[in-house]
Amino acid sequence: MFDHLTERLSLVFKKLRGHGKLTEQNIQDALREVRLVLLEADVHFRVVKDFIESVRERAVGEEVMLSLTPAQQVIKIVHEELITLMGADGRPIRLSGNPPVPLVLVGLHGCGKTTTAAKLARMLKEQGRVPFLVPADTYRPAAIDQLRKLASQIDVAFHEPRPGDTPVTICVEARDSAIGRGCDTLLIDTAGRLHIDETLMDELRQIRHAVLPKEVLLVADAMTGQDAVNIAKSFNDDLDIDGVILTKMDGDARGGAALSIRSVIGKPIRYVGVGEKLDALELFHPDRMASRILGMGDMLSLIEKAQTTFDERQARELEKKVRKAEFTLEDFRDQLGQIRKIGSLDHVLKMVPGVSKLKGMGPLHLAEKELVRIEAMINSMTRQERRNHSIINGKRRLRIAKGSGTKVQDVNRLLKQYVMMRKMLGKMKKGRMSGLPKGISPFL
């Protein structure tokens, strides 16, 4: 996400660092380029104007001019202003009150409401809530079936509407049913339209009046840029929404919607969808997002993801093996599998500070398909070979290559990388290992 924006801003700041001492003209030139970059990223023009003015007021002053690292000070100011622009801090949805707490998801057709409802239900279930999915979209063919299947996949209760029920009736009956089933959170998936119309809004107002939701959340497609902002403004004007969930953020290279919505409508972005899988929903943290945009990585999110993905017992066992130089190809394969559970390799690496500047350098940037090849080669080895790489001679390498659909050269390269990794892990100091967050693999 934000690839284009990050790349362009990096070039601007690289040029700024080339000046030993900054002048007011240097800063003005840099901000002019930042302005163009943001406009190209489809950020709302008024938001760009106000943002540049805020940065200029702080950058053209003693805070920067008298600094020993003036370029870094400018970047720090841009970082802080980006955080302010997107909302200062991430706020989860409000879930207080007598159960079942109703949450209504609204949005246009095709924005991803139904899948987002399931993603949110899965997340709330992991947090100890007992969600109840409610299909209030009676217009789109197979909408009810889709939500029913998703509810089954995540093992969450689903309200079965009766034929002919209106959306309002479905919501009211679902609320009563949730009480009897011991569910504490209603997640209502409403109908969308190809465009905003009064009939749609009137139906949503009736649902809101009937169930009195704790929050009305707009689901918007991040890839539509300023269109998403305009849609958010229309829904907010009619419904007074409480927050926004931006979908398809993993495919948004520009970032216009994420940078504009809060400033335009005054409502926070609550969550972002970062993939198609049902676990690909993240709480929106403006500070972490600002760091990603500026190529600073996001280690906090990476650690949080790793702590929910990695098995703590396995991580500690692996740590012991590394200390005793017993790290095998079997362990190597298992760790690759664990890392891939966090997300795509590209997504994981972008959370690591400085990685964006290392593009194309070494094994760190192996393509996703290369990881699949590595796993295939290790799986083609015998258990004895995986646990003792030194016995893999020429004949065995040929067999492994044939079994995995690769070449002998690929097997040679894998073994070379594995040996180098063993040496690198062997050099890790005990203090570094003990400083790892609880439940985190030494691989991270």
Contacts of 163 (CB under 8 A, 6+ apart): none
In this structure, are 74 and 107 located in the same domain? no
pLDDT of 439 reads 46
What's the rounded Cα separation, in Å, for the pair 408 and 424? 24
Query: b vs e for 291-310, b when ≥16 Cβ sit within 10 Å of the residue's Cβ?
Result: bbbbbbbbeebbbbbbeebb
In this structure, are 296 and 315 located in the same domain? no
pLDDT of 129 reads 93
CATH of the domain at 161: 3.40.50.300
Q: Please tell me whether the overall predicted TM-score, pTM, comes out greater than 0.85 for this model.
A: no
| Residue 293 C-beta-side C-alpha neighbours within 13 Å | 29
What's the rounded Cα separation, in Å, for the pair 103 and 347? 29
Question: What string of pLDDT tens digits covers the 444 residues of the chain?
Answer: 577 788 888 888 888 877 767 778 888 888 899 899 888 888 888 999 999 999 888 887 766 656 657 777 888 888 888 888 888 666 778 888 888 999 999 998 888 899 999 999 999 999 999 999 999 988 877 889 999 999 999 999 999 998 888 999 999 999 999 998 999 999 999 988 777 778 888 899 999 999 999 999 999 888 887 888 888 898 899 889 999 998 988 776 677 788 888 888 888 889 989 888 898 898 888 888 888 787 765 445 554 555 555 555 555 665 666 565 667 888 777 777 766 666 555 555 555 444 444 444 444 444 567 778 888 999 999 999 988 888 999 999 999 999 999 999 999 988 988 888 777 666 654 444 444 444 444 444
Report the candidate in 259, 285, 253, 261 with the shortest Cα–Cα distance to residue 272.
285
In this structure, are 227 and 351 located in the same domain? no
Domain-ending residue, one of 301, 325, 353: 301
CATH of the domain at 36: 1.20.120.140
In this structure, are 264 and 384 located in the same domain? no
Instruction: Answer whether residue 439 is part of any domain.
Output: no
Output the six-digit token pair for 387.
């646990």
In this structure, are 246 and 284 located in the same domain? yes
Q: φ and ψ at 199, to 5 degrees?
A: -60, -45
- Parent domain of 295: 101-301
Instruction: Answer whether residue 366 is part of any domain.
Output: yes
Instruction: Answer whether residue 173 is part of any domain.
Output: yes
- The total number of structural domains in the chain stands at 3
In this structure, are 187 and 151 located in the same domain? yes
User: Is residue 290 within 8 Å of residue 51, measured between CB atoms?
Assistant: no
Cα torsion for 374, 377, 383, 388, to the nearest 10°? -70
Determine the residue type at 304. Answer: E
In this structure, are 314 and 297 located in the same domain? no
- How would you class 376 by CB atoms within 10 Å of its CB: exposed for 0-12, middle for 13-18, buried for 19 or more? middle
Residue 134's beta-bridge partner residues? 188
Instruction: Answer whether residue 213 is part of any domain.
Output: yes
CATH of the domain at 407: 1.10.260.30
Output the six-digit token pair for 419.
């040996």
Instruction: Answer whether residue 204 is part of any domain.
Output: yes
Contacts of 285 (CB under 8 A, 6+ apart): 89, 90, 300, 301
Domain-ending residue, one of 260, 275, 301: 301
Domain-ending residue, one of 280, 301, 322: 301
Instruction: Answer whether residue 354 is part of any domain.
Output: yes
Instruction: Answer whether residue 95 is part of any domain.
Output: no
pLDDT of 318 reads 58
In this structure, are 362 and 332 located in the same domain? yes
In this structure, are 391 and 285 located in the same domain? no
In this structure, are 319 and 219 located in the same domain? no
pLDDT of 341 reads 64
pLDDT of 227 reads 84
In this structure, are 283 and 362 located in the same domain? no
User: Is residue 436 within 8 Å of residue 303, measured between CB atoms?
Assistant: no
Report the candidate in 276, 273, 246, 281 with the shortest Cα–Cα distance to residue 262.
246
In this structure, are 51 and 115 located in the same domain? no
Instruction: Answer whether residue 440 is part of any domain.
Output: no
